[in-house]
Each structure stands twice: as C-alpha cells, then as structure tokens.
Amino acid sequence: MQVGKLVERWRGAGMKVGFVPTMGALHQGHLSLVSLALGEADRVIVSIFVNPSQFDRGEDLSSYPSNFDEDLKKLDEAGAHCVFFPSVDEIYPEGFSTSIHVSGLTDTLCGRFRSGHFDGVATVCAILLSIVRPDIALFGRKDAQQLAVIRRMVDDLRLGVEIHAGDIVREPDGLAMSSRNSCLDPEERKQASVINSGLSRAAELVLEGERDAERICSAVREVIDKASLATLQYLELVDPDSMKPLSKLTTPALLAVAVYFGHTRLIDNLILEP
C-alpha cells in the first residue's frame, strides 16, 4: 500500500500521524524522535532516504554510512508503525526540475559552506511531507539551522504539518550522536568530545556573566584547538530564529559549531541564555 493511502486511512479513522524523516544509519538521536512521535501521535512513520541533492559535489554522499537491516530492526524495536524507503527515482523522477530556496536563514553557519545544501533539504522535505501528509513531523535540534529552514518553509508554503523538535542526544563523553560519528577513527572519536567541552565552556562563561560573543567564541576555540585532529570550520553565535550573527548575548542565542576530524564533518550547538 502507498504510504499516502495508509496515512489517509489512519487519519480517516481519527488517528494522529507522526513522521520522522531520516537518512538512515540510525542512532539514539533518531530513535528519541520516534519515541517523541509515539508520545504525540497514534501512528509513526519513519522515512529512510539518503537525499543526493543535499550533498555538495565531492562531499560525503558516497561515504555516507548506511545500515538498512540494522535500521529496520531498531525501528521495529522502537515501535514505529511504518518505514518508508523510497528510491532516488521515486523522489526525483525523470525531468524533475523544481527546487525550493529559503533566503536569509541559509546565509550563515552551514549555509556558508555547503552550497545548495539547504535547497536540497527544503525540497526533499517538502516532497516527503507531501507524499506522507502527516499531522506532525519531527526533527532533531542538532541540525538547528535545518530545523529553522524547515519551519520557515512549512509556514511559508502552508504545508499544514506541525513541526516538533527533539533535543540533542549525546554519547557518555558528550559527543552529539550523529550517523557520521561512525566514520571517525578511534583517535578522532576520542578527541571529538572536545566539541561538547567547548560548548560547555561557553555555558560556564555565560553563567559567570560573560555576554560578549567574540570572547565567548574565543574561549570555545581555545578548548577545541586543544584537539590536534580538529579543524574548526565555523563557530558562530546567532539568533536562534533568524540565524543572524549576534555580537552580544542579550536574548537566548544559538552557539553553533562545525568541526572537521579528518574528512568527517561534525556539527553541534547549544542554546545560551543570558
């Protein structure tokens, strides 16, 4: 049965439908979204689709981790009711020509370094939401900019779905869960915990009264630079709605970071409250 028909049937029976779009290689972060969805909806659909259009040329599409059988097992155990795993041709049939751009929000952070990435994300999410037609869709806060872009796009295009966010889930040493963590070698993996240490240092400074973005970022950079294998791509304090850079912490702000370990790019973030 087509997923859209299934959802129509469920909704016709008065059930609320939650949807968790993923690129597979599932970890506890994804599963926490499934669990959140189960608390808010009667039926939960998870999609697994590694979307080519959100990877830059030369970026890590070909090396993006996948473990489909393991994913299905995890989703079954987590209590998901349906897994939707379309092919690339199903999402982008021959002649496909449409793209969605969200301006402003995509000028900073990852948008500065991953050309076309958020157009790919916005477009595939619009398609998946239109195919599935859930009541609620859930996204993780680790991809904070993605979350802002999707909220904006869903509002602007009146896609008629509520967007809910799940908190970042971390490994015992603080590293944010990510499918890409599996690409780290043992030494990289060990050092990667500095990202969270850096963010925690920022939170401490703010507690001590620091409000200057540049001084906060310097302190974080100092922590991350201690990891010999880390290469900082960006570290920015931005408004959590507009993603515009802030020089002072006067309202809750998003401190967002991207760090390379070898070829593996990791992102993380923290909301700082003055």
Q: Which residues bind its own copies (CB under 8 A)?
A: 93, 95-105, 122, 126-127, 130-131, 152-153, 155-160
Length of the chain: 274
Q: Shortest gap between Cβ of 250 and its own copies (angstroms)?
A: 20
If the CB atoms of residues 84 and 261 are measured against its own copies, the closer one turns out to be: 84
Q: Shortest gap between Cβ of 99 and its own copies (angstroms)?
A: 5
Residue 13, C-beta contacts closer than 8 angstroms, at least 6 positions apart: none
If the CB atoms of residues 60 and 239 are measured against its own copies, the closer one turns out to be: 239
If the CB atoms of residues 66 and 99 are measured against its own copies, the closer one turns out to be: 99
If the CB atoms of residues 8 and 56 are measured against its own copies, the closer one turns out to be: 8
Q: Can you tell me the distance from the alpha carbon of 235 to that of 267, in angstroms, rounded to the nearest whole number?
A: 10
Q: Can you tell me the distance from the alpha carbon of 253 to that of 274, in angstroms, rounded to the nearest whole number?
A: 8
Q: Shortest gap between Cβ of 56 and its own copies (angstroms)?
A: 18
Q: Which helix (H) or strand (E) holds 128?
A: helix 117-132
Name the amino acid, one letter, at 246: L
Q: Shortest gap between Cβ of 104 and its own copies (angstroms)?
A: 5
Cβ burial, residue 186 (10 Å; 0-12/13-18/19+): exposed
Catalytic residue positions? 30
For the chain, the first-to-last Cα distance in angstroms comes to 51
